[in-house]
Amino acid sequence: MKDIKRIEIIDLLKGNRNEEIGKEICVKGWVRTKRGNKNIAFIALNDGTIIHNIQIVVELASFDEEIMRRITTGACLRVNGKLVESVGQGQNVEVQATEIEIYGEADVDTYPLQKKGHTLEFLREIAHLRPRTNTFGAVFRIRHAMAYAIHKFYNDRRFFYWHSPIITASDAEGAGEMFQVTTLDLNNIPKTPEGKVDYSQDFYSRQTSLTVSGQLEGELGALSLGKIYTFGPTFRAENSNTPRHLSEFWMIEPEMAFYELEDNMNLAEDFIKYLVNYALENCKDDLEFLQNMYDKELISRLEFVVNNDFVRLKYTQAIEILEKADQKFEFPIAWGVDLQSEHERYLVEKHFKKPVILVDYPKEIKAFYMKQNDDGKTVRAMDVLFPKIGEIIGGSQREENIEKLVSRMKDVGIEPDEMKWYLDTRRFGSAPHSGFGLGFERLLLFVTGMVNIRDVIPFPRTPHNAEF
RNA sequence: UCCUCCUUAGCUCAGUUGGUUAGAGCACAUGACUGUUAAUCAUGGGGUCUUUGGUUCAAGUCCAAAAGGGGGAGCCA
């Protein structure tokens, strides 16, 4: 077979290599469909660079019957052929095959992907093969684009990518149940004389876990480099079984010195709008596919978010609106209670019909590190609420006053001595600062229009499920 | 973890008040068609009805439990 440098399918379909028309080129990829009659066959070939396929035209007279039989849905091919303008409708260019090599066959009796009709639930069971489908190809290309855009957004604004640790010894973050990390022999656990686990014999000589948030370490970065962000995996051992929770997910946590709550809100809104706009400008083909297949209003909803200001509202005002709502809630509403999903959904989807940033929550329902307001009752927390997916961002201005911070720690039962390194930020050169956390997969739910968070991460981790 | 629904061919589903050989579309095989667009048309093969136990002359169908999955809730991002 003639050795020709491979061209990626996106370049052929986007017209980037039109100077090759009339010449022999090489493409490589996986077969999506094969159809035709006894004289001619059409193979739709996809290499993952773009959602669309290149059409390979095969004159059967010049090819071995045996090789054509082995070309089935899912097989991987190397194809040499002449790039020509297409005779048929539906594509601008196609490849008139001259030579075909089969890299790998896909047995039709056992290859689970077919030309038609797979549910997302079925594809979840074959997560190792689902990226070969149009849907998951689109989702994961968008996932990449969003990850890239996150780094670009922060780099352009002079934020530094800060690597907070994955393994942590601080369990005082209060953000959820943690996965323990240990090298102890679980069949023979060393015990102290009191009968407790003897962690002094463990790898770190103390009890450690996977991180539930990089925020506390992020604050150390902000109070030295000025503006930082983290972007990494996060782990929660909660027994959450919903379409919005994973036990392993990715989170972006910016943290900024000298930012007050207002600045924090502005950054959060700019950030989300930037990402959504980036998707609109750079992932058009994939978004159009997802819109056609799953969500007819996807693109208009994304455009709406980019073009409209988020509503900004104090918790107290939200309670007033909910109390006046002409709708019965399962959970009664009153000042001081945390908002339930039904309440958030009412505000975002019914009352305002746009994203809402809620601020100044009662201190009792928020984390200890949030800056206390002068009213003595509320803290400078902010939650960004989105239609369909609920809380997409949670953040706050941080308490920089060490006395107030220690007092809150004691209120909620955290031993200040165990957080000495954290309190040192307030002890030495403390400063006003703020930050927030954005759930990466929840952002992707919004951008792709998918409804189950397990469908926007390649290998979802949920209770009882760690396959692949 | 709680509530609720689902599990029938490789995939997506139908299956009547419990009744004799469990159906369809797609996929697959064979054939037809000189360029198809998830091609079309014809014919054909393909099922321990998730598992276990129970009720009954008789269970895909009724009851119970388990496993897996969906939706809602809580926890949160």
**What are A94-112's pLDDT values in tens digits?**
999 999 999 998 888 888 8
Q: Where are the alpha helices (DSSP H) in A226-370?
A: 261-282, 284-293, 298-307, 315-324, 341-345
> Which residues from the 35-64 window of protein chain A have CB within 7 angstroms of nucleic acid chain B?
35-40, 42, 44, 55, 57
pLDDT of residue A58: 93
* A413 in Cβ contact with A456 (< 8 Å): no
Q: What is the pLDDT of residue A266?
A: 97
Nucleotide of closest approach to A213 (CA, C1'): B77
Q: Is A327 (CB) below 7 Å from strand B? A: no
Strand B contacts in A 107-166 (CB under 7 A): 108-109, 112, 114-119, 121-122, 124
The 3-class SS string of A107-161 reads: CCCCCCCCCCCCCHHHHHHCCCCHHHCHHHHHHHHHHHHHHHHHHHHHHHCCCEE
Provide, in whole angstroms, the distance separating residue A121's CA from nucleotide B27's C1': 19
CA–CA gap between residue A123 and residue A113 (Å, rounded): 9
Q: How far is the CA of A117 from the C1' of B17 (A)?
A: 34
CB A228 within 8 A of CB A158: no
Q: Give yes or no for CB of A89 within 7 Å of strand B.
A: yes
Q: Distance from residue A54 (CA) to nucleotide B34 (C1'), in Å?
A: 22
Mean pLDDT across A210-228: 95
Cβ of A373 near strand B (under 7 Å)? The reply is no
Residue A232 beta carbon within 7 A of nucleic strand B: no
The pLDDT of residue A88 is 82
CA distance A213 to A440: 13
Segment A366-397, tens digit of pLDDT: 999 999 999 999 999 999 999 888 899 999 99
Q: Stretch A173-190: mean pLDDT, rounded?
A: 86
Averaged pLDDT of chain A? 93
Q: Which nucleotide in the DNA or RNA is closest to residue A89, CA to C1'? A: B37
pLDDT computed for residue A189 by the predictor: 94
Distance A250 CA to B13 C1' (A): 37
pLDDT band for A173, please (50, 70, 90 cuts): low
A366 Cβ within 7 A of any nucleic strand B atom: no
**Residue A337: both structure tokens together:** 């209670």
Binned at pLDDT 50, 70 and 90, residue A317 comes out as very high
Distance CA A25, CA A45 (A): 14
Residue A9 CA distance to nucleotide B34 C1' (Å):
28
Q: Report whether pLDDT(A53) > 60.
A: yes
Q: What is the pLDDT of residue A169?
A: 87
Query: Model pTM?
Result: 0.95
Sorted by sequence, the CB contacts under 8 Å of residue A122 that are 6+ apart come out as none
Q: Is the pLDDT of residue A315 over 90?
A: yes
Estimate in Å the CA A368 to C1' B23 gap, whole number: 62
Q: How confident is the model at residue A329 (pLDDT cuts 50, 70, 90)?
A: confident
Q: Is the pLDDT of residue A118 over 90?
A: no
- Rounded to an integer, the average pLDDT of A188-194 is 94
ipTM, two decimals, is 0.89
Contact between A141 and A198 under an 8 Å Cβ cutoff? The reply is no
Strands A54-59 and A24-36: unpaired
Residue A290 has what DSSP assignment?
A: H
Task: State residue A117's pLDDT score.
Answer: 65
Average pLDDT score over residue span A441-456? 95
Per-residue pLDDT tens digits for A56-76: 999 998 898 888 988 999 999
pLDDT at A347 over 70: yes
pLDDT at A343: 94
| Protein residue closest to B32, using CA and C1' | A37
Measuring from the CA of residue A42 to each C1', which nucleotide is nearest?
B36
Identify which of A366, A352, A425, A420 has the alpha carbon closest to the alpha carbon of residue A396: A366
**N residues, chain A:** 468
The answer to whether the C-beta of A219 is closer than 7 A to strand B is: no
Span CA (A117) to C1' (B49), Å: 22
Neighbour-count burial of A35, counting CB atoms closer than 10 A to its CB (0-12 exposed, 13-18 middle, 19+ buried): exposed
Distance in angstroms (rounded) separating the CA atoms of residues A420 and A423: 5
CA A57 to C1' B39, whole Å: 14
Phi (first) and psi of residue A431, to 5 degrees: -155, 150
Highest mean pLDDT among A171-175, A199-203, A292-296: A199-203
How far is Cα A453 from Cα A445, in angstroms, rounded to an integer? 6
Distance A291 CA to B25 C1' (A): 25
pLDDT bracket for residue A140 (50, 70, 90): very high
Residue A270 CA distance to nucleotide B74 C1' (Å): 31
Q: What is the pLDDT of residues A222-262, one digit of tens each?
A: 999 999 999 999 999 999 999 999 999 999 999 999 999 99
> A110 CA, B52 C1': separation in Å?
29
Does nucleic acid strand B have an atom less than 7 angstroms from the CB of A68? no
Provide the positions of strand B that have an atom within 7 A of a protein CB: 1-2, 10-13, 25-29, 32-39, 68-77
| Burial (CB count <10 Å: 0-12, 13-18, 19+), residue A423 | middle
- A412 pLDDT above the threshold of 90: no
Q: Is the pLDDT of residue A175 over 80?
A: no
A172 has a pLDDT exceeding 60: no
DSSP annotation of A309: P
Nucleotide nearest the Cα atom of A453 (by C1') = B77
Q: How far is the CA of A390 from the C1' of B8 (A)?
A: 38
Predicted confidence at residue A171, as pLDDT, reads 63
pLDDT by residue (tens digit) across A11-47? 999 999 999 999 999 999 999 999 888 889 999 999 9
Task: Name the closest nucleotide to A94, judged by C1' and CA.
Answer: B35
**Closest nucleotide relative to residue A253's CA, C1' based:** B77
Q: Which nucleotide is nearest to A120 (CA to C1')?
A: B70
